[in-house]
Chains A and B, each alone.
Chain A
Amino acid sequence: MLLSLMIFIPLLGMVAVLLLPRESEELIKRATLLFTLIPLALAVYLFISYDRSNGGTQYVQGPVPWIDAFNIQYHIGIDGLSVTLLLLTALLGPICVIASWRNIEKGIKAYMALFLLLETGMLGFFAALDLFLFYVFFELTLLPMYFLIGVWGGPRREYAAIKFFLYTLFGSVLMLVAMIAVYLNSGDPGARTFDIPTLIALASTEGHALNNLNFQIWVFLGFFIGFAVKVPIFPFHTWLPDAHVEAPTAISVILAGILLKMGTYGLVRINMAMFPQGLDYFTNGIGFWGNSLALLGFINIVYGSFCALAQTDFKKLVAYSSIGHMGFVILGLAARNSEGITGAILQMFNHGVISAMLFLLVGVLYDRAHHREINGFGGLGSRMPVYTGITTLAFMASLGLPGLSGFVGEALSLLGAYDKFKMLTILSTIGIVVGAAYFLWTLQRVFLGTLNPKYEALPEINGREILTLVPLGILTIVLGVWPNFAIDMFRESVTNLINLL
């Protein structure tokens, strides 16, 4: 019940916001903040009260019959992985509302309503235990995102919005075919099911139609492409830089922080748990296909990092660095061992926090200078010392400095992957070096050197902006020195997952 409440309170908030008069903007913003703070409070409660020694699904609600004709049920619950990502989602909700407080000029009512709808979609996605429900929540995020980028975005927003929409929809229709195939093979007519735990059990039952290598390979591919577009995995990544550059700050934060995680979460929840034979085919280290998933992870890391190095647009740089960092998640998952998966999940959470910080910081600078050209700044360190300090923290965390959170996830992922894919793992470390290069180089070009006289009067970061960054900064440091804070949450769930493989 608690979980349902958490998912649907933002939806309720959307209705409430729609009923408020358009003119009372302050009221709308406050209401939205309230409706995102409640899920945060609930998420913190769930995070604390989740029984860590038992990695199974908890706070289960349902299955409640929904559409009888197809045995579709309302069934939600959380395990260690979901609760971690739910906390991240719920945390970024209010932060994004605060970040949008001043810089959304038109249609604040529609913006906040869509944002709340988006939040319901994301929260529901991480909690769904019914495949159909899972898909509906997955798609529910598309429409609000299209509008949030398309209406409130930058100059090329129309292009970016439709590109995002079409790419994701393309991926999800392939996922839909795979989903229907799984459903049709799950039993005789009348006994078919969408229930994820049941399907996972069936897929490992000897002699069941789902427990068939050939079948698993095909449906694995269907789901994989759907999620790969979201992650994004090369070559499905081209929507991401466009979407990030055009989206308003808060929406970039959500995109990088949560939507990308929906892809990797789907890979863990569906592809790995439900199709272990398919997973084995793509990650057993034998031949081309056996290395393909790790190879994609490697390409993401190296390709993303080199692309980032070449950027002169601050936001595009962060966007490409996201592609690189998501590569570590893929590499860790491909390793299929305890270190790899733990590292991947930790990296998902850390990347959510760090990239959110980076996009917020880019937004702060853009709001003041109205451009993001890295070479156009210089010497800001003397003008905005606090801003420079926070940015340096975020950069260091992102490039993987030991002691900050980015390091732990990447190190664990590489550790796990080294066990199976030695060559690819060694080559992947190029990404870390390049990552250090572009961040340090950016730091130098923006904050060091002589101050560009145009920016002599640039105001320092204000209280509201610091408020959005502080919780994320604290998390970065805490998780850097005490990663078990998060790892404890999903240790048992990872063990359960590995037992399935």
Chain B
Amino acid sequence: MESLKNIESLLYFSPEILLVIFAVAVVLLDLVVKDRESVAVAYLSLVGCFCTFAAVLFTHFSFGDEGPVSLFLGMIQLDAFSSFFKVLLLLATAATILFSLRSEELDARLKGEYYALLLAITLGMFLMASSTNLLMIFISLETVSLTSYILAGFLTHSPRSSEAAFKYITYGAVASGTMLFGLSLLFGMAGTGDLAQISGRLTELLAAGEIAPLAVLIAITFVLAGVGYKIASVPFHMWSPDVYEGAPIPITAFLSVASKSAGFALFIRFFYAGFGSTELMQAVDWPFMLAIVSALTMTVGNLAALPQQNVKRLLAYSSIAHGGYLLMGGVLLTSQGIGAILFYLVVYLFMNLGAFYVVVLIANEVGSEMVEGYRGLSSRAPLVAWAMVIFLVSLAGIPPFAGFFGKWLLFTAVLEQGYYWLALVGLLNSVVSLYYYARIVKAMFLEDAGEETDSVSFSTGTFALLSVFVIPTIFIGFLNIFYTFSNISVSVMPMQ
């Protein structure tokens, strides 16, 4: 495939350029607007998301639709796969901006920086979803990491938030260092940074017996440390509960959805384009390694979530577990499995963001992030309580909600490849997960509120936003279009 030169690539790169422009514009607007209560910057960043969305559609349908286009001398690639993730990430960003508007924890003085950073992190994630070169992979990953350290520590008055940022940066530095080492090993062995070329080179070298399979496995494992850190897979998950608990709730929601999605985009492209060839899979047994990581991730996530009293922390562990479920789809990197991951990410976006939105609402109105704070919510705020039930039940993977269909796809993909034990681990894990999701439901519906029994009222806008998450969570599974959509996005992946 011919790569486009730098200047020629710019037009294809317009979504990313727009993000940069709007990030700068947000900072500038913040300097001009004197009113602290003004929400102008938030709306400007929303406009930015919308324009970028239009640009993504434009670049996709004018260029990317006909097949992958390689940009900037092979650094990044524009294809249906990256466009899929860009749309997904923009949805998450827009939702986060709307959450932040409603959130009462954020410091009004730092609004400009906050929204600019959100747009910047989105840019980094866009690059993660489209990088095809080792160097670009590392740069995009670091862009996202550095920005998220700042966002996690954004509650300047809260020691917990600073602690979260500090932990995040410490773990992150180790993970990136390890990953960089792995990348350098790969570069040393293959002599190139381009994923497609690495694949070919390594296959040749392995066949000729010039490098040991173990060396490749070690390099992959090191890279997996960096990717595993982003998707919070065991054993690189330790940071996530503390960070999720300490960070502002909108950022927690954003990290748990967008950061994970971008991590999976990178993961899929790295393994699929770089190591998806049958010869490589036979020589280096990384599918088995991934299966173990996946089983451990969901089990650890679910077991650790069981005793949690803080809903944010509980959802953090639940999101680790979901990372494990998602990894199942990637174990053998079949197009079915990847399609299942993409579908699940869409479903996960809606149900998880929805659950976090309820957490924002309850934190604002009841002032508690603990499970006790949810007591008697069914009588105080019935609609919000029922919405939460739908999100949680969907997260647990119970029909007829979308989460079930997502899990169904993942399990089918795994069973198709004969990994019966992994599917069974996954399914038993969903039974375990039901227990802690049900704890929140129990608090809302089966327990009395105590002294505070006055009903909590919410604005119409709140319900409108809530329904944006509830409706897809109910209906995505029943609609053919989403299955087709995720399959198309996979089919144009460069298969080796």
- A residues near B (Cβ < 8 Å) are 66-70, 107, 110, 135-136, 139-140, 142-143, 146-147, 150-151, 157-158, 161-162, 165-166, 169-170, 173-174, 176-177, 180-181, 183-184
Q: Contacting B445 at CB < 8 Å: which of A70, A150, A169, A177?
A: A150
- Which of B208-216, B229-237, B321-329, B392-400 is near enough to bind chain A? B392-400
* Set B382, B423, B434: member contacting A165, Cβ < 8 A: B434
Task: Return B379 CB to nearest CB of chain A, in Å.
Answer: 8
Chain A residue at smallest Cβ distance from B483: A69
Quick check: which of B40-48, B130-138, B258-266, B412-420 contacts chain A, the rest being far away?
A: B412-420
Closest to B405 in A: A67
Contacts of A147 in B (CB 8 A): 445
Question: Provided the pairs A157-B446, A161-B446 are in contact, do residues A176 and B427 lie with their beta carbons within 8 angstroms?
Answer: yes
B442 adjacent to A158 (CB under 8 Å)? yes
Does any Cβ of A come within 8 Å of B487's Cβ?
A: yes
Asked if B478 and A180 make an inter-chain contact with CB atoms under 8 angstroms apart, the answer reads: no
Q: Which residue of A lies closest to B423 (CB)?
A: A177
Residues from chain B with Cβ under 8 Å of A68 in the complex: 480, 483
Name A's interface SS. helix
Known: A67-B483, A143-B393. A180 touches B438 (CB 8 A): no
CB within 8 Å for A184 and B412 given contacts A67-B478, A162-B435, A173-B430 = yes
Q: A-facing mask of B470-496, CB < 8 A → 1, else 0?
A: 000000011010011001000000000
Contacts of B404 in A (CB 8 A): 139
Contact indicator A176/B411 (Cβ below 8 Å)? yes
B424 within 8 A of A: yes
Residue numbers in B under 8 Å from A184 (CB-CB): 412, 415-416
Once bound together, how far apart are the Cα atoms of A161 and B379, in whole Å?
Answer: 19
Q: Which 3 A-B pairs have the closest CB atoms?
A: A173-B427, A69-B483, A139-B399
Query: Given the complex, which residues of A lie within 8 Å of B428, measured CB to CB?
Result: 170, 173
Q: Taking A157-B446, A176-B427, A183-B412 as contacts, is the C-beta distance between A169 and B478 under 8 angstroms?
A: no
Interface flag for B205 (CB, 8 Å): no
Chain B residues with CB under 8 Å of A176's CB are 408, 411, 427
When C-beta atoms are compared, the residue in chain B nearest to A218 turns out to be: B420
Tell me if B's interface is mostly helix, strand, loop or mixed.
helix
Q: Quick check: is B431 within 8 A (CB to CB) of the other chain?
A: yes
Shortest distance from the beta carbon of A57 to any chain B beta carbon, whole Å: 24
Q: Which of A143, A150, A174 contacts B427 (CB 8 A)?
A: A174
* CB within 8 Å for A67 and B480 given contacts A170-B431, A184-B416: yes
CB atoms of A140 and B399 under 8 A apart:
yes
Given contacts A67-B480, A140-B400, A177-B411, contact A151 B445 (CB under 8 A): yes
The answer to whether A177 and B415 have CB atoms under 8 Å apart is yes
Q: Within residues 438 to 456 of chain B, which ones have a CB less than 8 A from any CB in chain A?
A: 438, 442, 445-446
Given contacts A136-B399, A151-B446, A177-B411, contact A166 B434 (CB under 8 A): yes
Nearest-CB distance from B346 to chain A (Å)? 14
Asked if A158 and B446 make an inter-chain contact with CB atoms under 8 angstroms apart, the answer reads yes
How far, in angstroms, from A457 to B93 measured CA to CA in the complex? Answer: 68
Min CB–CB distance A127 → chain B (angstroms): 16
Cα–Cα distance between A181 and B415 once the two chains are bound (Å):
7
Contact indicator B400/A69 (Cβ below 8 Å): no
Given B424, B431, B484, B487, which contacts A177 in the complex, CB threshold below 8 Å?
B424
Complex Cα distance A143/B430, Å? 15
CB distance from B217 to the nearest CB of A (A): 30
Residues B400 and A136 in contact, CB atoms below 8 Å apart: yes
List the A side residues contacting B431 at CB < 8 Å: 166, 169-170, 173
Query: B411 — nearest CB in chain A belongs to which residue?
Result: A180
Q: Known A-B contacts: A67-B480, A173-B430. Give 4 more (CB < 8 A).
A: A69-B480, A143-B393, A177-B424, A184-B415
Q: How far is the CA of A1 from the CA of B478 in the complex (A)?
A: 20
Chain A: minimal CB distance from B395 (Å) = 13
Provide the residues of chain A in CB contact with B442, threshold 8 Å. Answer: 150, 158, 162
Q: Are B398 and A142 in contact (CB under 8 A)?
A: yes
26 CB-based A-B contacts, threshold 8 Å: A68-B483, A70-B412, A110-B378, A110-B382, A135-B399, A139-B398, A139-B404, A147-B445, A150-B442, A150-B446, A158-B442, A158-B446, A161-B446, A162-B442, A165-B434, A165-B438, A166-B431, A170-B431, A173-B431, A174-B427, A176-B427, A177-B411, A177-B423, A177-B424, A180-B408, A180-B423
Q: Please, how many angstroms separate the alpha-carbon atoms of A169 and B428 in the complex? A: 9
Cross-chain contact of A180 among B399, B412, B483 (Cβ < 8 A) = B412
Given A140-B400, A166-B434, A173-B431: A69 in contact with B393 (beta carbons within 8 A): no
In the complex, A158→B438 CA distance in Å?
A: 10
CB A190 to nearest CB in B, in angstroms, measures 12
The reply to whether A66 and B445 form a contact with Cβ atoms under 8 Å apart is no
Residues of B within 8 A of A166 (CB): 431, 434-435
Known contacts A150-B442, A151-B446, A161-B446; A143 and B398 CB within 8 A of each other: yes
What residues of A have a CB within 8 angstroms of the CB of B416 in the complex?
184
Task: Closest A residue to B487 by CB, please name it.
Answer: A69
Least CB distance from B476 to A in Å reads 11
How far is B425's CA from A173's CA once the two chains are assembled, in angstroms? Answer: 11
- Residue of A whose beta carbon sits closest to that of B386: A110
A66 and B434 alpha carbons, distance in the complex (Å): 28
The 0/1 profile, CB within 8 Å of A marked 1, for residues 366-394 of chain B is 00000000000011001000000000010
Nearest CB of chain A from residue B411's CB, rounded to whole Å: 6
